[in-house]
Structure 1
Amino acid sequence: MANTIKFGSQADLDEILAAQASCTADFRKANADIYAGMDCLEQGKLVTGKISQVNDQEVLIDVNYKSEGVIERGEFKDSDSLEIGSEIEVFVEKLEDEDGRLILSKQKADFVRVWDRIHAAFENNEVVKGTLTKRIKGGVVVDLFGIDAFLPGSQIDLRQIPDINALIGQDFDLKVIKVNKARRNIVVSRRVVLEEERNKQRGDVLETLEKNQVRKGIVKNITDFGAFIDLGGVDGLLHITDMSYKRINHPTEMVQLGQEVEVMVLDFNDKKERISLGMKQLKPHPWKDIAERYPEGAIVKGKVVSITDYGAFIELDSGVEGLIHVSEMSWTQHVKHPSKILTVGQEVEAVVLKVEEDAERISLGMKQLESDPWDTIETELPPGARVVGEIRNIASFGAFVEIKEGVDGLIHVSDMSWTKKITHPNEMVKKGDKVECVVLAVDKEKRRISLSMKHLTEDPWDSIDASYPVNAEVNGKIVRMLDRGVVVELGEGIEGFIPVSKLTAEYIKVPADAFKVGDEVPAVVTEIDQNNRKIYLSVVDYFKSRESAELKAWMDSHKPGENGTTIGDAAPKAKKSAKKEA
């Protein structure tokens, strides 16, 4: 736009412009050094300046320009150590922003200064040293020659690192795997360096690897079934069963991540890709000469390490365990499960019962520490002795009686009564009942005692001929009805049998036609079968010696009624029917 003047002539305007030009020229001449600096300052270049002021947000830099340059304080990694007047190399981002300020950058200056070095390392595949400074999403920030580079989490190690924070502040050898100058993006990797080192070491290890060789390694990873050991570029598996001769529940009981361990090479395949290692093989086998160290009959101490349904395992020494079977825990207690008397971790004493070195088994007993109550059982309980005990258990064949603590005897169902026909023991006794019985026999070897309840009294059948001679008249009560006759109770548990043909002189098909349970009947003893313990009776023979009137009365009271009811039963039924009809 041309210069114009609102008032005055063109000559006046020319004079004013000439004066301004003269003043400007004089000013620039007087400040030639300042304008020289302004003329050489270019955007995108590196310049050297001095720190002139530091505040909470910004750092002001004097770069010999018309105004001081501004850098955000956050660009300085150690802003607390900034000193006024110290020289610093900066990058010119903008000569003038919207506020007219000169914008500088410390980080970009650092990047430009080391870019050539980083790019050369990238092109030449060189190893560089970097410091891990802080953890961010996806990886770690690395200080590389004073500028930030990115180390992805997958590139930190050969395996996943459980705690990346533990690596912050450490220096590592790295390789630059990606660069972008425009975005100032630098990606580095430690894994690449480790893989190259491992491949070199792997070749050296595989060339010298042999079975039964002892090597040192580092625990790289731990699983439930074992630990992976880095032997120097090649990994081997130390299985949990090869860590120790003693029982262990998890590999962490023996090794820790990063720990240096000594192992033996147990086996490897032809390509040597799978290597089996062992630790326990470096020590003497604990079962060698075990019988000499733990002779039978010796009293030993140990700790309960495991409990099962059938017993408890006791650790006697590292890698040496013995089993106390549940049957060897007590003479007197009925141990249903070992956990009732033992707990894991408990210290116990036991007696060595048997040692099997080849099978690596030791049988132990706790009850052998005490005297066996069965040792004196024959003298304490001779046959014929009377004892009192509690019914502990009932089976279909008899009842078990606890005579003394830890000693049971059996009352067989056939030894409960001389006279009753018992189908099940619970007809005579109940669990928990106190009963008196007689010792019949003692088998010390089989630990069995036979008991009897019926032997508390004399067998009534021994004198049955005298008590119930043939032709003797008796009275009995019907207790059971059979199709072929009735069973009557005579007293003292003695029962007799009356055939259906001997119940009445009149024909009846079955006893129930004229008789019922509970009826009192007179009879005569007709036969005694001592061997089969049976007495045969006859009502008909009884009335042979009686008056005919007496027999008639008996016949009338036991005539068959309708539907098999007797006359005595039918009479009250007829009265009830007559009342209903009325």
Structure 2
Amino acid sequence: MGSKIFSEGVGLLMETEKKKDKINEELARMYEESISEIKEGQILKGKIVQISEKEVLIDIGYKSEGSIFKSEMSEAEKLKVGDEIDVLLEAKENDMGMVVLSHEKAKRVKSWQNIVENQKEGDVIEGKIFRKVRGGFMVDIGMQAFLPASLSMMQEFGGADNLVGKRLEFKIVKINIPRKNIVLSRKEIVEERRRGEKRAILERLNKGDLVKGVVRNITDFGAFIDIGGGITGLLHITDMSWGRISNPGEVVSIGDEVEVKVLDFDKTSMKVSLGLKQQTPNPWENIAGKYPEGSVITGKVVNIMPYGIFVELEKGVEGLVHISEFSWSKEYSHPAEKFQVGDSVKAVVLRTDAKNQKLSLGIKQMEKDPWGKVEQRYKVGGRIKGRINVVTDYGAFVELEKGVEGLVHVSDLSWTKRVTHPKDILKKGTEIETIILNVDEQNRRIALGVKQLTQDPWDEIIKKYEPDTVCEGKVTNITNFGIFVELESDLEGLLHISEIDLAPGGRIEDLYKIGDAIKVKIIHIDGVQKKIALSAKGLEEEAPGEKDRPVIEEEGESH
């Protein structure tokens, strides 16, 4: 009986062991199947089982744990044992028999999947700039993305170094699926924000408003003022001061804080015109009351131009003294002959134009006009002496008194002599006697004559030199159209080429020389035009060029 019981017990024990082995085999089979399903590159859930100073030990349900360096985790200090995190299985076993895991790569893969599935180019995404690289920055958006420097708007933060560490919004400009990279931009976001700020400010802005701003840039034509909200207005040089300035830098400097008045603005183009001088009264208001015509002013020469000088009467008010208003008597070729910038001058106000902000001044009006009542002092027909001031090709200007000149025209120098140029008989600085021919006080002109000092001799000349009269003369000039022949002192006639017996192809110069005596016949005399026409045809004479040919002697010489 006892042996039977023992035998049954041993059999039961053996059956139990068999069942346990079978269960163990089943568990082993199931474990092997489970771990065989885990593949390298797969993202798994792992449980933190231990945290050391530098590493975190992770259980992924595999036969061994894996470790991850804390430096790979963005918020490692917040982790605790038992927390579950995403990891990527890089290798099932390393040299130490542990699995190789990466939390960072798991984040990248999941972020990339999320972006591909839920984001597109043009969408806005938030990220943190964590590193500066060549050509731009790396941004953490759950994975690494590239922000080109040209699209970073780094100037907002004062440079590239100040941008690192900033969490900002970005626009996705490029998703490259094959390469698994993303390009970001802040330019569009910043510009859109600025446009919104500008629109908001422009909605509140009114003409005439006083606004404060900072000088950002200075050019030759003005200064650009930042008045906030991304709006930069132009303060033109003409709106800086009522007075004359040659450069905007005389009034403002870069970085200056200024208060300016809004003169105009365009909401569409977002352009704003600003003014500084408009904060003070316009000095041209009531200009005619302050400086009535005929009043005497004292001012300072502030600019010299070829046509005159600009005189500052007060800050913002200048008048022009034209070069013709310098002197009654003296003519200037350039104002610099008489004035320099900074000179103090007295002048008379001639005209005021408040609308166009113009003042005409005169300096010569400070003295008495010498042409006043000149017709009473200089009567037509009267004889007068004066000094020759200027000799021109058309005559000579003779000073009769200070500020009053008369003109002797070249045609009024001699009744009979052909005058090529007045300087041949008149010299500057010499005294000359003349007769007053005409006085025009209104146009400030006096006509003088020299030949009128003697009686017109042409009545006697016409009687003396009747047509067909043959006489001898002297060659005084040879031209391409004929010869001028002196018949007597200061009396010449023209022997036209058609009235000379020339051989075919012959030249006048081959027949006659200046100073040669010549026999001529009077063919026409014009007492009005004061001209005598001569002919040498049909007149026999010695062959020209012979040394013993007769020559008309000058008056006072003997034969």
TM-score by length of 1: 0.54
Determine the C-alpha separation between the residues in 1 that align with 2:206 and 2:226.
16
Determine the C-alpha separation between the residues in 1 that align with 2:248 and 2:135.
29
Determine the C-alpha separation between the residues in 2 that align with 1:222 and 1:363.
40
2:377 paired with 1:470:
no
More helix by share: 1
Determine the C-alpha separation between the residues in 2 that align with 1:131 and 1:375.
83
Q: Shift of the alpha carbon at 1:194?
A: 5.9
Q: Does the 8 Å contact 1:290/1:357 carry over to 2?
A: no
Q: Shift of the alpha carbon at 1:193?
A: 8.6
2:427 paired with 1:520:
no
Q: Shift of the alpha carbon at 1:225?
A: 8.8
Q: Please, which runs of 5 or more residues in structure 2 have no aligned partner? A: 1-39, 44-50, 55-65, 73-86, 457-489, 491-559
Structure 1: which amino acid aligns with 2:449?
S
1:445 to 332, 352, 355: 355
2:113 paired with 1:203:
yes
Determine the C-alpha separation between the residues in 2 that align with 1:269 and 1:515.
96
Determine the C-alpha separation between the residues in 2 that align with 1:380 and 1:357.
41
Deviations 1:25-54 (A, max 9, x none): xxxxxxxxxxxxxxxxxxxxxxxxxxxxxx
C-alpha distance 539-367 of structure 1, shift in aligned 2 (>3 A): same
Structure 1: which amino acid aligns with 2:168?
V
Structure 2: which amino acid aligns with 1:260?
R
Partner residue in 1 for 2:546: none
2:404 paired with 1:497:
no
1:276 to 156, 162, 185: 185
Partner residue in 1 for 2:218: 307
C-alpha distance 270-463 of structure 1, shift in aligned 2 (>3 A): farther
Partner residue in 2 for 1:59: none
C-alpha distance 225-537 of structure 1, shift in aligned 2 (>3 A): farther
Q: Does the 8 Å contact 1:418/1:460 carry over to 2?
A: yes
Q: Does the 8 Å contact 1:205/1:232 carry over to 2?
A: no
Q: Shift of the alpha carbon at 1:266?
A: 6.3
Q: Does the 8 Å contact 2:397/2:405 carry over to 1?
A: yes
Partner residue in 2 for 1:538: 449
2:173 paired with 1:261:
no
2:228 paired with 1:321:
no
2:143 to 224, 233, 238: 233
* Partner SS, residue 285 of structure 2: helix
* Partner SS, residue 197 of structure 2: coil
C-alpha distance 418-446 of structure 1, shift in aligned 2 (>3 A): same
Deviations 1:491-536 (A, max 9, x none): 1221112234544678354333333211111121122244643222
Determine the C-alpha separation between the residues in 1 that align with 2:164 and 2:218.
31
Q: Does the 8 Å contact 1:230/1:236 carry over to 2?
A: no
Determine the C-alpha separation between the residues in 2 that align with 1:426 and 1:401.
14
Q: Does the 8 Å contact 1:243/1:279 carry over to 2?
A: no
Partner residue in 2 for 1:42: none
Structure 1: which amino acid aligns with 2:256?
Q
Deviations 1:292-333 (A, max 9, x none): 42221122222223333332333332423333222222223x
Q: Does the 8 Å contact 2:139/2:146 carry over to 1?
A: yes
Structure 2: which amino acid aligns with 1:262?
E
The answer to which of 214-223 and 290-299 deviates more is: 214-223
Determine the C-alpha separation between the residues in 1 that align with 2:265 and 2:421.
72
Determine the C-alpha separation between the residues in 2 that align with 1:224 and 1:437.
70
Structure 1: which amino acid aligns with 2:314?
K
Q: Does the 8 Å contact 1:487/1:496 carry over to 2?
A: yes
2:325 paired with 1:415:
yes
Q: Shift of the alpha carbon at 1:234?
A: 5.1
Determine the C-alpha separation between the residues in 1 that align with 2:447 and 2:175.
91
Q: Shift of the alpha carbon at 1:274?
A: 4.2
Q: Shift of the alpha carbon at 1:289?
A: 3.9
Q: Shift of the alpha carbon at 1:199?
A: 4.7
Deviations 1:61-117 (A, max 9, x none): xxxxxxxxxxxxxxxxxxxxxxxxxxxxxxxxxxxxxxxxxxxxxxxxxxxxxxxxx
Aligned residues: 373
Deviations 1:150-180 (A, max 9, x none): xxxxxx99xxxxxxxxxxxxxx99989xx9x
Q: Please, which runs of 5 or more residues in structure 1 have no aligned partner? A: 1-123, 133-144, 146-155, 158-171, 182-188, 546-558, 560-582
Q: Shift of the alpha carbon at 1:219?
A: 1.0
User: Following superposition of structure 1 onto structure 2, how do residues 183-202 of structure 1 map, counting pairs within 5 Å?
Assistant: 198-202=108-112
Determine the C-alpha separation between the residues in 1 that align with 2:42 and 2:119.
31
Identity of aligned residues (%): 30
C-alpha distance 446-472 of structure 1, shift in aligned 2 (>3 A): same
Determine the C-alpha separation between the residues in 2 that align with 1:241 and 1:383.
64
TM-score by length of 2: 0.56
Structure 1: which amino acid aligns with 2:165?
G
* Partner SS, residue 368 of structure 1: helix
Partner residue in 2 for 1:347: 257
C-alpha distance 431-239 of structure 1, shift in aligned 2 (>3 A): same
Determine the C-alpha separation between the residues in 1 that align with 2:233 and 2:134.
25
